Each structure stands twice: as structure tokens, then as C-alpha cells.
């Protein structure tokens, strides 16, 4: 038996409108995806041949990829050639084609190494490294780490790792060579400003446990809070320091983020909120939108005189924190120019155990000052020589104390007087 249903004209009209709307939405979505995929830098052609062959002169013929693949498989002198190595190598090369040092593809083995970096303990030398001016550079040795004890310094250019040259080497590859079992030795050759020849530094690997926050109050009732990294335990420890500062009625706070390579964005926002309250802490700008990250809690330290110590090893989350407080005038920054790592990476794991990290945006201070490749300029620039370090003299700390006590006077040469 066949049952027929009849519909009134209003119902049919409504259904038609609904159908047209759905078709329009699907068409718009597909069109938007196709437009995004077809975007190329000005003056360049597209990669074609994914579905068909196109011989337009400005375009790159994707079929050439398979020509090269087959050529390597057929003629490379060491046979057989691994399909998997060629595949992962192609993906890595594709991602590196962006020209951004923080946009990276990890094969499954490299992914395991990268994920271990996020843990609060690991075996290695305890140093953050990055890419600057297309070279591998030490951002900062962690305080008390084997790298600091061996004499590695922020700003050192790493030329070789156990004899392997680092030209065009990614950060992830360098980390994989430097990491190793506790008790083993890694030999680094570094180039350092002021030295005429390379310096060899041998570092014995150890288990690195990141103790992210330490604090003390001196006899002048000045509290110094040293934050070595912004990780999972930082907020809890920092809150203890804040409670200590408030109950003991300190005259001022020095926050030392020198040689702090960064860490978790959420942690930096949380810590900054102790001064900014619910005001914006940073801006994130991508290709098509701007996102505001507001503070997340009450400003418990509002009105407390604060100085932040920074240097070339202060990077990423450290720069977000320092830049926000500087923008609002909640803190005076003392030291030297920060590193300039202000970009956002989207990390995604892939089905086969590999992963990809793609730069999707850049960070700006609440007033819109760029951080990436620029860094944060301190309010008062004070250098810190190796000789002073060896003699236990800290002119940056001394400057900070004098500011909080109201005895700071600037000299023409940048030194200080304390009344």
C-alpha cells in the first residue's frame, strides 16, 4: 500500500526557503575553503597537479614531487631508500617552507622528545635554546643547572654539538642531540660576543627538576621573587610568596625573570593578574582576528611598588608578564633588552604519532606593542658583566633596591648612586 501525503503551500514555501539556505551555506563553506587553499604570496603561482595537471608558467607542477621521489628511489647511491624517511622528510620540508623557525613538523620519535620537554623533570643540561638571526642561540641556562655551572651564558651561539655543525639545524634536532642520560657528557662549541675564537664547553648531563619560584625578604623589607620558568607549579608557589609579602608588609617587590625562557601562557596571565586585576594582559593577533586575554583574578599587589629584572634570556611568557606591567605603569623594568619570542604555536598530534606545530599568531602588550623579534625594552638599562658575575656583584639588583627605597639616581654612564 502506498500512502501519499499532501502539504499546504505555506509549508512547501518554508521548506523551499530552508533548502535554499542549506545549499547556500554549503556552497559558501566550500568556496571559503577553496579560496583559503588558493591564497599565495603576491607574485607567486600556486602548487597545482594535486588533482590534475596544469602547465601555467607561474605555477609549480606538483607532479614534479613524484618525479623527484621516483628519481631518489631509483638513483640514490645507498639503496634501498626508506619510503617513510622520504615521506616524513617531505612533510618537514613543507612546514619549514614557511620560513618560520617555530613552525615545525615532528616525526614520531621527535614528538616523544618534544612532549618530554613539557614535563617538569628530564635528563639533560637545563638550558633553553632558540633560533635568532637564523642561528642556534642559548636563550637562558636554568638557574643551578649543569649548563649554568659549566659556564653557558644567554646569547651564546651554539656552533657544534659533539662535533656536529648546527647550520640550518632546528631547535628540536639540537635538543635531541643535547639531551641524554644522567652522567654522560655533551660537548658544545659556542661563539660568544667579546671572544675571538670558539669556546668549548663540556657539560655533564643530570636530572633537571624545575623549581620555578623562590623568594626571600632582605633586612630592608624588600622581597625578591625569582621565577625561573612559568610552569604548572608556578602559580601555587607565587601565591605563597604574595601571601608572605602581604602579611609581612614589605616595602616593595622585585620580580626576577632574568634567564626565564617562558612557559605556559595561562600561568603568565595568572601571575600578571596580581597587579593588573581583570584588565587585559596581552593581545593575540592572527591573520584575521584579534583576541584579548584579560586578567583572571583580583589585583592583590596593586599599589605595591614593583621592579622587574629582565635580560636577553627573558623570553615568551616572561616578556608577556613584564610588558603588561610596564604598559600599565605597575612596575619599573630594569636590565637589558629581552629575547623577542612573541609568537603563538598551534600544536596538533597526528594519527601516526607524529605532530606539527604551526605559528598562528603573534603576541602584543595591552597597548599594542609587538614582542616578536623585538623584545621588551627596560625602563632603566643596566648591563651585567661577566667580571661582576664572578665577583658576586649584581648592579641590576642594586638598581632595583635603590628604586624601591627611593634612593635611585641615574648617572650619565648608566651607573647608579644610592643616597
| Angle value at C-alpha 364, between 210 and 333, nearest 5 degrees | 65
Task: Give bridge partners of residue 293 from the DSSP assignment.
Answer: 282
Element (DSSP H or E) covering residue 265 = helix 265-276
3-state secondary structure of 370: strand
Task: Give bridge partners of residue 333 from the DSSP assignment.
Answer: 308
* Distance, CA of 247 to CA of 225 (rounded, Å): 15
CA distances from 15 to 3, 153, 261 (A): 21, 70, 58
Place of cell 559558501: 28
CA distances from 348 to 86, 191, 359 (A): 21, 35, 12
* Distance, CA of 173 to CA of 110 (rounded, Å): 8
Q: How many other C-beta atoms lie within 10 A of the C-beta of residue 213?
A: 21
* Distance, CA of 372 to CA of 319 (rounded, Å): 10
3-state secondary structure of 217: strand
3-state secondary structure of 202: strand
Going by the DSSP 8-state scheme, the letter that residue 45 receives in this structure is: P
For the CA atoms of 57, 59, 63, 69, the dihedral, rounded to the nearest 10 degrees, stands at 110
Backbone angles phi, psi at 304, to 5 degrees: -85, 120
Residue 67 gets the label, from left (phi > 0), alpha (psi -120 to 50) or beta, of alpha
**Positions marked catalytic:** 316, 327, 341
Residues in Cβ contact with 272 at an 8 Å cutoff, skipping those fewer than 6 apart: 281, 295, 320, 321, 324, 325
Closest CA to 312 of 168, 141, 180: 141
Going by the DSSP 8-state scheme, the letter that residue 263 receives in this structure is: B
Q: Taken in order 75, 78, 83, 86, is the CA torsion positive or negative? A: negative
Cβ atoms of residues 237 and 225 within 8 Å: no
Closest CA to 369 of 307, 303, 277, 280: 280
Amino acid at each position: 500500500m502506498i500512502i501519499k501525503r499532501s502539504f499546504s503551500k505555506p509549508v512547501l514555501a518554508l521548506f523551499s526557503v530552508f533548502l535554499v539556505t542549506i545549499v547556500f551555506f554549503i556552497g559558501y563553506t566550500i568556496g571559503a575553503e577553496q579560496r583559503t587553499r588558493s591564497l599565495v604570496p603576491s607574485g607567486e603561482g600556486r602548487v597545482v597537479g594535486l588533482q590534475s595537471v596544469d602547465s601555467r608558467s607561474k605555477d609549480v607542477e606538483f607532479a614534479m614531487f613524484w618525479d623527484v621521489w621516483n628519481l631518489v628511489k631509483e638513483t640514490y647511491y645507498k639503496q634501498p631508500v626508506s619510503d617513510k624517511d622520504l615521506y616524513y622528510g617531505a612533510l618537514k620540508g613543507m612546514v619549514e617552507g614557511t620560513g618560520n623557525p617555530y613552525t615545525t613538523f615532528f616525526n614520531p620519535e621527535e614528538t616523544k622528545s618534544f612532549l618530554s620537554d613539557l614535563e617538569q623533570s628530564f635528563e639533560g643540561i637545563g638550558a633553553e635554546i632558540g633560533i635568532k638571526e637564523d642561528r642556534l642561540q642559548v636563550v637562558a641556562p636554568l638557574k643551578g643547572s649543569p649548563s649554568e655551572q659549566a659556564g653557558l651564558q644567554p646569547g651564546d651561539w651554539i656552533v657544534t654539538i659533539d662535533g656536529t655543525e648546527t647550520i640550518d639545524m632546528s631547535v628540536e634536532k639540537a635538543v635531541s642531540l643535547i639531551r641524554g642520560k644522567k652522567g654522560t657528557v655533551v660537548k658544545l662549541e659556542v661563539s660568544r660576543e667579546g671572544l675571538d675564537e670558539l669556546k668549548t664547553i663540556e657539560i655533564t648531563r643530570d636530572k633537571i627538576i624545575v623549581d620555578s619560584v623562590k623568594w626571600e625578604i632582605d633586612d630592608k623589607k624588600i622581597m625578591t621573587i625569582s621565577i625561573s620558568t612559568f610552569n604548572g607549579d608556578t602559580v601555587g608557589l607565587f601565591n605563597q610568596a604574595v601571601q608572605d609579602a602581604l602579611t609581612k608588609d614589605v616595602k616593595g617587590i622585585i620580580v626576577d625573570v632574568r634567564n626565564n625562557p617562558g612557559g605556559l601562557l595561562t600561568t603568565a596571565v595568572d601571575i600578571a593578574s596580581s597587579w593588573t586585576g581583570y584588565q587585559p594582559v596581552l593581545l593575540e593577533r592572527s591573520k584575521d582576528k584579534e583576541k584579548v586575554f584579560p586578567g583572571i583574578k583580583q589585583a592583590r599587589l596593586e599599589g605595591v611598588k614593583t621592579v622587574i629584572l629582565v635580560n636577553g634570556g627573558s623570553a615568551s611568557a616572561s616578556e608577556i608578564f613584564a610588558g603588561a606591567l610596564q604598559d600599565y605603569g605597575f612596575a619599573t623594568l630594569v636590565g637589558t633588552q629581552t629575547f623577542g619570542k612573541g609568537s603563538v604555536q598551534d600544536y596538533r598530534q597526528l594519527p601516526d604519532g607524529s605532530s606539527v606545530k604551526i605559528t598562528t599568531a603573534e603576541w602584543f602588550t595591552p597597548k599594542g606593542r609587538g614582542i616578536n623579534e623585538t623584545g621588551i625594552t627596560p625602563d632603566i638599562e643596566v648591563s651585567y658583566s661577566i667580571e661582576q658575575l664572578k665577583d658576586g656583584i649584581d648592579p641590576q639588583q642594586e638598581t632595583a633596591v635603590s628604586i624601591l627605597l627611593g634612593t635611585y639616581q641615574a648617572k650619565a654612564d648608566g651607573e647608579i648612586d644610592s643616597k
